[in-house]
Structure 1
Amino acid sequence: MKRLVGPVLVLAGVLYPFAVHLGLGHFAPWQFAVLLGGLWLARGLSAPRRPGNRWMSVVALGFCGLLAVSDSAALLRWYPVLVNGFMLVLFGASLKYGPPLVERLARLREPELPAAAIGYTRRVTEVWCGFFLVNGLIAAGLTLWAPLAWWTLYNGLIAYIAMGLLFAGEWLIRQQVRGRA
């Protein structure tokens, strides 16, 4: 069960914009809050003790509590901004307190990274910080000023296409860097 909570929360996050867009006519915002809060509570109780696991769960539960109490459809649209903020803080904190998050991921496949790779992973972590900052600002702008359909299109599709392009571009650059090394 513990292993299922993380992937279910990720899937819920990916589908969230479409659920909000399609579900607002059938469900109240407080019902979204209860479902999302249940997932975050399960994550908080089942996640291993790592820096970020607890505080993210507490902040997300606070958001869900505020959403439940306010029953605000407008507040529903702030969740992607919250998630981008979480990712920005995780990647950014790893740059300050080290090792950078991308380096940690790289060491899972290759425990002994050369010095050049360590510098490269730091730069990639910085790029991801920039991505999450820009993506979060766009999500906030759409939350404040755009119709629900635009918000759904961006947060449910365009943001993931941009993320995929960043992954693919980084992979291509990494192959060139490795080829030179």
Structure 2
Amino acid sequence: MAGANGVEGRRAERRILLGIGGVLAYAALSHALMLHAADRPWAAAALLAPGVLAGAGWALAQGRRGLLLGCTLVLAGLVAWSLAGSQASVQHLYLAQHAGIHVALGAVFGASLRIGATPMITGFARRVHRAGLSPAMAAYTRRLTAVWAGYFFAMAALSVALFAAAPWSAWSLFANLLTPASVALLFLGEHLLRYRLHPEFERAHWRDALRASWRPAAGEDGR
């Protein structure tokens, strides 16, 4: 049984690594398309649809019906706008997608901090650490939820500022390459800091944490 679990774990890890590789390849391709074919309808569809579909998939996995409906409406609007717009309006469309996704994520994480709700990261941690969370661990995950909410809002603001003040190529570099890099750095930095500040946290494999972010906790209702 242990051997079978190990094989399945390695397979899951390979799938996740392939997924990460796909994300990196897509980021590089997106940057190239934004520089050389931003106004082409097919390029707009290739650039816009995956992010919205990923958001819709996460909303569906979390049972968040309102967010799922919002992603569906946004996707329809993006397609219509990309087919009808000029290059300038398509560039604004890319900005709307990048900043809008970050605002939406910031709102979801921020809303989970309201009184009576389960903070987003607290819910993730409970799915990984089956033994339960101590009060200190629960407080840490609540603060971490606030950090992620602040990060998403800050990225949206920076996206708008760069779009307004910097060349298009600089904004594309930020949106397609620096954004996923900053997410990875925040994940890694938090992982290292967590066990330094809270050694009582059970050691969890990174693939378990990733799975937890896509799996709704028992008793959490969608919104």
TM-score (norm 1): 0.76
Q: What residue is the counterpart of 1:136 in the other structure? A: 156
Alignment of 1:50 with 2:63, yes or no, is yes
Higher mean C-alpha deviation, range 48-57 or range 120-129: 48-57
Higher mean C-alpha deviation, range 62-71 or range 33-42: 33-42
1:180 is displaced (CA, Å) by: 6.3
SS in 1 for 2:199: helix
- Residues matched between the structures, number: 171
Pick aligned residue for 1:21 from 19, 35, 43: 35
Partner Cα separation in structure 1 for residue 188 and residue 53 of structure 2: 33
Letter in 2 for 1:54: L
1:49 is displaced (CA, Å) by: 6.9
Alignment of 1:81 with 2:99, yes or no, is yes
Distance 1:81 1:18, change over 3 A: farther
Q: Is the Cα–Cα contact under 8 Å of residues 81 and 90 in structure 2 kept in the other structure?
A: no
Partner Cα separation in structure 2 for residue 158 and residue 17 of structure 1: 11
Partner Cα separation in structure 1 for residue 145 and residue 176 of structure 2: 23
Partner Cα separation in structure 1 for residue 122 and residue 32 of structure 2: 33
Tell which has more relative contact order, 1 or 2 (C-alpha 8 A, sep 6+).
2
1:138 is displaced (CA, Å) by: 0.9
Q: Is the Cα–Cα contact under 8 Å of residues 21 and 152 in structure 1 kept in the other structure?
A: yes
Q: CA RMSD in A?
A: 3.2
Higher mean C-alpha deviation, range 166-175 or range 36-45: 36-45
Percent identity between the aligned chains? 24
- The answer for unaligned runs of 5 or more in structure 2 is 1-18, 202-223
Distance 1:155 1:42, change over 3 A: closer
Partner Cα separation in structure 2 for residue 93 and residue 153 of structure 1: 30
Q: Is the Cα–Cα contact under 8 Å of residues 102 and 124 in structure 1 kept in the other structure?
A: yes
Distance 1:64 1:89, change over 3 A: farther
1:125 is displaced (CA, Å) by: 0.7
Pick aligned residue for 1:108 from 117, 127, 141: 127
Q: What residue is the counterpart of 1:167 in the other structure? A: 187
Could you give the per-residue CA deviations for residues 57-78 of structure 1, whole angstroms, max 9, x where no partner exists? 3234323333333243322431
1:126 is displaced (CA, Å) by: 0.4
Partner Cα separation in structure 1 for residue 184 and residue 94 of structure 2: 22
Distance 1:42 1:142, change over 3 A: closer
Partner Cα separation in structure 1 for residue 135 and residue 43 of structure 2: 47
Letter in 2 for 1:117: M
- The answer for unaligned runs of 5 or more in structure 1 is 1-6
Could you give the per-residue CA deviations for residues 74-105 of structure 1, whole angstroms, max 9, x where no partner exists? 22431211221121122112222621111111
Partner Cα separation in structure 2 for residue 43 and residue 160 of structure 1: 15
Pick aligned residue for 1:64 from 79, 82, 85: 79
SS in 2 for 1:95: coil
Q: Which has the larger radius of gyration?
A: 2
Letter in 2 for 1:162: S
Q: Is the Cα–Cα contact under 8 Å of residues 34 and 64 in structure 1 kept in the other structure?
A: yes
Letter in 1 for 2:33: A
